[in-house]
Amino acid sequence: MTVILGIESSCDETAAALVGDDRRILAHKLGTQEALHRPYGGVVPEIAARAHVEVLTPLIEAALTEAGMRLRQVDAIAATAGPGLIGGVMVGLLTAKALSYACEKPLIAVNHLEGHALSPRLADPTLAYPYLLLLVSGGHCQLLRVEGVGRYKRLATTIDDAAGEAFDKTAKILGLGFPGGPAVEAAARLGDAKAVPLPRPLKGSAEPHFSFAGLKSAVLRAHQAGVHTPQDIAASFQAAVVDCLIDRTAKALATCDDVTALVVAGGVAANASVRAALEALASRAGLRFVAPPLWLCTDNAAMIGWAGIERFAAGLIDTLEVPARPRWPLDPDAEKVRGAGVKA
């Protein structure tokens, strides 16, 4: 069996995992920095990088202990090399380089988005290429045709904010706390999704792109008007996001007639309303729907280890010169979208 050590440190989770090519997760250790960032209402890059330095090595040691393995017994070391907050990415990638050099093990630089994109295959052995992926996280909102390891065709992206970012900003406006996604989902459960009329940006437009900035501004105006409860605004906001995600995904689906499944991944895929609506869309289209378990949707090291397994099997090994990259598109040939901000 091939076993890979996976390392994740691109945002506010530090994680180490040992993953086998038989899809067994021999160990997974995750340290969340939520409490450190909560006073600021968002992730502070400098604080994140320092915290990664402090906890990464103990997490790797704990993962090895849990799996009953020594570092020399792993076959390769995979780490997120971008995109993400560059200080954190450098901590994980440099640690991986040092271990790779010291133990003479191959190094695999993983694109964090590829980790999310392939995570459904870790959870479901029957999921075959090609599949249509809705990748919805804090920094990204994209529709991708996943054709194989390292082969991604971007069909759509956001022209401004990512969906998770909209959840986080809505939580901040409504005073629901940090991290925003789960807080908005919990508040939405207590509210009326029809109470507040909110826009559905780009719904019905020809290209399947996304936009969430206008929705966020509408949430701010609704809150300032002081008429509705935070629960009603949260429920109405979540319904608007789901509407947009479904409309845009349906548009992209109409252009892919050979995909084996509709798949969702990334932090926002942990949202029950998002999952249920996508499942219904897949069923209308006569397609399988695949979503990883909740813990595999948000940032973790098992998905980085698994991407490492797929890359290792394909002979995709990196050298110690591989750079840490704050930006790293999955599809380098994707056209720039008019109005697209830094999140594209």
Residue 310 tokens, joined: 């797929």
N-to-C CA span, the chain: 38
Quick check: 138 binds ligand KG4 (CB under 6 A)? yes
182 binds ligand KG4 (CB under 6 A): yes
Among 179, 208, 305, 308, the residue binding ligand KG4 under the rule CB under 6 A is: 179
If you compute the radius of gyration of the chain from its CA atoms, what whole number of angstroms results?
20
Residue selected from 167, 212, 306, 328 as contacting ligand KG4 according to rule CB under 6 A: 167
Tokens 């084996």 belong to residue: 260
From the list ligand KG4, Zn ion, none, partner contacted by residue 89 (C-beta under 5 to 8 A by kind): none
Please state, in angstroms and rounded to a whole number, the distance separating the CA atoms of residues 278 and 272.
Answer: 10
Smallest distance from Zn ion to CB 116, Å = 6
Return the residues of window 298-337 that contact ligand KG4 according to CB under 6 A: 298-299
137 binds Zn ion (CB under 5 A): yes
Partner from ligand KG4, Zn ion, none contacting 318, C-beta within 5 to 8 A by type = none
Distances (CA, A) of 271 to 96, 237, 297: 32, 13, 10
Q: Are the beta carbons of 150 and 121 closer than 8 angstroms? A: no
Map the footprint of ligand KG4 across residues 232-291, applying CB under 6 A.
266-268, 270-271
Token pair listed for 315: 């002979």
Q: Are 124 and 290 in contact (CB under 8 A)?
A: yes
Structure tokens at 191: 């509210």
CB neighbourhood size of 75 (10 A): 16
Q: What is the DSSP string of 310-325?
A: HHHHTT--B-TTPPP-
Out of ligand KG4, Zn ion, none, what residue 164 binds, judged by CB under 5 to 8 A for its kind, is ligand KG4
Please state, in angstroms and rounded to a whole number, the distance separating the CA atoms of residues 72 and 330. Answer: 31
Q: Which of 146, 136, 156 is nearest to 210 (CA)?
A: 156
Q: Is 9 in the site for ligand KG4 (CB under 6 A)?
A: no
Looking at 120-128, 134-142, 235-243, 268-276, which segment touches Zn ion (CB under 5 A)? Answer: 134-142
Q: Tell which one of 168, 232, 310, 318 touches ligand KG4 (CB under 6 A).
A: 168
Our finding on whether 157 is near ligand KG4 (CB under 6 A) is: no
The answer, yes or no, to whether the previous bond of 125 is cis (omega within 30 of 0) is no
CB of 106 to ligand KG4, least distance (A): 25
299 binds Zn ion (CB under 5 A): yes
| Member of 180, 191, 201, 292 binding ligand KG4 (CB under 6 A) | 180
Determine the size of the site formed for ligand KG4 (CB under 6 A).
20
User: Cβ 115 to Zn ion, closest distance in Å?
Assistant: 7
Question: Which residues sit at the interface with Zn ion, rule CB under 5 A?
Answer: 137, 299
